[in-house]
Structure 1
Amino acid sequence: MGGGHHDTLLKDPAIEEWVWMRQNTHRYFKVNRRTAPTLIAMGLVVPAITFYFASATQGLTTIEPKTKKAWAEAYAERK
């Protein structure tokens, strides 16, 4: 910054290759014994646990406005 024409960006080939591989992971991904447990956990177990806790806690809390009237009723009375 501020060095005039002497500001050049040096590119490391190893970093450039890592960035390219990271952006193109879909080309090299394969389902095998190593990746299958992660796929099952993220695709089935995590959603199942989330659904279980969501359904188990449904209806346990009530969300009510702090005012006695809803904001729409209060707005209608002002007019």
Structure 2
Amino acid sequence: MGAHGHETLLKDPAIEEWVWMRNNTHRYFKFTRRTAPALVTFGLVVPALTFYFASATQDKVDLKPMVKKSWAEAYAEKKSE
């Protein structure tokens, strides 16, 4: 930016069109044989696998900290030395 803020921003029409199309994909989307596998994969398979692995590992991982002392106790002990 310059001292006075009088710069002009050049816009590429191709980039502007791409951004507009990307932001408005819902207007042109159609359920076809080409889009069906992606929809099934990301709409059903991925969530199902995520749920399966989350439920299979639930309560099997111990997330407690490994230290016996709290951070405040360790800090106080270190400071007193």
Instruction: State the TM-score, normalized to the length of structure 1.
Output: 0.69
Partner of 1:39: 39
Question: Partner letter of residue 25 of structure 1?
Answer: T
- Name the aligned partner's letter for residue 15 of structure 1: I
Cα-to-partner distance string for 1:29-73 (whole Å, 9 max, x where unaligned): 111011100100011100111111111112213445767xxxxxx
* Structure 1 unaligned spans of 5+: 68-79
Letter of the structure 1 residue corresponding to residue 42 of structure 2:
M
| Counterparts of 1:64 and 1:6, CA distance in 2 | 57
Q: Distance in 1 between matches of 2:50 and 2:42?
A: 11
The answer for the alignment partner of 1:76 in structure 2 is none
Q: Which 4+ residue blocks in structure 1 deviate beyond 3 angstroms?
A: 3-6, 62-67
- For residues 5 and 56 of structure 1, the distance between their equivalents in structure 2, rounded to whole angstroms, comes to 58
Q: Which amino acid aligns with 2:8?
A: T
- Residue identity over aligned pairs, in percent, reads 70
Listed as ranges, the gaps of 5+ residues in structure 2 are: 69-81
| Matched length | 68
Cα separation, 2, equivalents of 1:10 and 1:61: 54
Q: Which residue of 2 aligns with 1:50?
A: 50
Counterpart position of 2:9? 9
CA RMSD of aligned residues (A): 2.3
CA distance in 2, matches of 1:62, 1:9: 54
